[in-house]
């Protein structure tokens, strides 16, 4: 019964708690908490090169992950690990956004196609993607997860870390003392202006998610960049997923074709004309 419901829905977590909220976190991602329980964040993947973690990624279907474009600027033969429990897949295709230009951070999004599909279980399944028109209020909490550094340029954890952050509006984030106009419409800031909690090196490509009222989790952002980690006035900057929702659909959905939709509609009306 459970496995069936996971086939048709997205964004559900077996273990519904968010540890980083329960304990007001100010330790360490940076400032997060260890979240090692099996399948706590079922969409989290690790992109690895020679078995070494390089970047995070998020499962959005049986065969597609979304990650950050800057994760692929060096090696292209990464493998991916969905864990826990460990499930390894090699990568078949990488689609980097056509407008991404290293070293700029704009359009920092990539899609990763797995060589073979993964069967969803309660511990491994996709996150929900928001509609392009969706707007997230700034007072809600969101969660970041990853195997990135615990402090700027610091050690990396073995266990997946999670931390709770708040979305920060772009006007605030573009203030002179924050990012001084560097935040484009493709970006979204999250964290705390007082510092202390943030994503860090190695978290890139991973998810920033938020639950809706039914506790289904939506992908709001993709870890992209920041000035070091967890510094005051330097919150994390994320790729804004709503901006890219249609791009993601156009690249990943084999059935997606606006022309086909028109054709189907015409056929339908032709048939009903015949009948009447
Ligand atoms: N760009 C870095 C990476 O490749 C880290 C990005 C997040 N940094 C931050 N302070 N939120 O992993």
pLDDT in tens, 12-66: 988 777 776 644 443 347 877 776 566 789 999 999 888 888 899 999 999 999 9
Averaged confidence pLDDT in the chain: 83
Q: Establish whether 204 is a catalytic residue.
A: yes
Closest CA to 48 of 17, 28, 72: 72
Q: Ligand 1 centre and the CA of 80: distance in Å?
A: 19
Q: Do residues 140 and 169 touch, judged by C-beta distance below 8 A?
A: no
Q: Ligand 1 centre and the CA of 81: distance in Å?
A: 20
Among 108, 123, 125, 224, the active-site one is 108
Residue 72 CB–ligand 1 contact under 6 Å: no
pLDDT given at position 133: 94
Please give the average pLDDT of every successive group of 10 residues along the chain, which has 276 residues: 53 78 51 71 90 91 95 67 69 92 95 91 91 88 93 85 95 98 98 96 96 92 97 98 96 62 42 39
Residue 204 CB–ligand 1 contact under 6 Å: yes
pTM of the model: 0.86
Q: Give the DSSP per-residue string, 198-260.
A: B--TT-TT-EEEEE-TTS-EEEEEEEEE-SSSS-TT--EEEEEHHHHHHHHHHHH-TT--HHH
What element of type H or E holds 86? none
Q: Ligand 1 centre and the CA of 32: distance in Å?
A: 15
Residue 239 CB–ligand 1 contact under 6 Å: no
Q: For domain 141-245, give the fold.
A: Thrombin, subunit H (2.40.10)
Q: Establish whether 105 is a catalytic residue.
A: no
């Amino acid at each position: 019964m459970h496995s069936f419901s996971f086939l048709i829905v997205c964004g559900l977590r077996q273990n519904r708690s968010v540890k980083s909220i329960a304990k007001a976190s100010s330790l360490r991602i940076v400032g997060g908490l260890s979240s090692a329980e099996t399948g706590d964040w079922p969409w989290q993947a690790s992109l690895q090169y020679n078995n070494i973690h390089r970047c995070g990624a998020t499962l959005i279907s049986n065969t597609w992950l979304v990650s950050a474009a800057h994760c692929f600027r060096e090696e292209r033969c990464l493998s991916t690990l969905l864990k826990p429990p460990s499930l390894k897949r090699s990568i078949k295709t990488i689609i980097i956004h056509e407008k991404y230009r290293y070293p700029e951070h704009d359009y920092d999004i990539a899609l990763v196609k797995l060589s073979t599909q993964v069967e969803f279980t309660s511990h491994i399944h996709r996150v929900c993607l928001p509609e392009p028109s969706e707007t997230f209020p700034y007072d809600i909490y969101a969660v970041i997860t990853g195997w990135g550094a615990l402090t700027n340029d610091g050690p990396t954890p073995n266990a997946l870390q999670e931390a709770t952050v708040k979305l920060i509006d772009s006007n605030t984030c573009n203030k002179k003392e924050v990012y001084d106009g560097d935040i484009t419409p493709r970006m979204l800031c999250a964290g705390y202006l007082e510092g202390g909690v943030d994503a860090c090196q190695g978290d890139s490509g991973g998810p920033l998610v938020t639950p809706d009222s039914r506790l289904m989790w939506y992908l709001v952002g993709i870890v992209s960049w920041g000035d070091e980690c967890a510094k005051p006035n330097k919150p994390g900057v994320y790729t804004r997923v709503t901006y890219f929702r249609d791009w993601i659909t156009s690249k990943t959905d084999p059935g997606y074709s606006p022309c086909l939709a028109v054709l189907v509609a015409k056929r339908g009306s032709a048939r009903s004309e015949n009948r009447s």
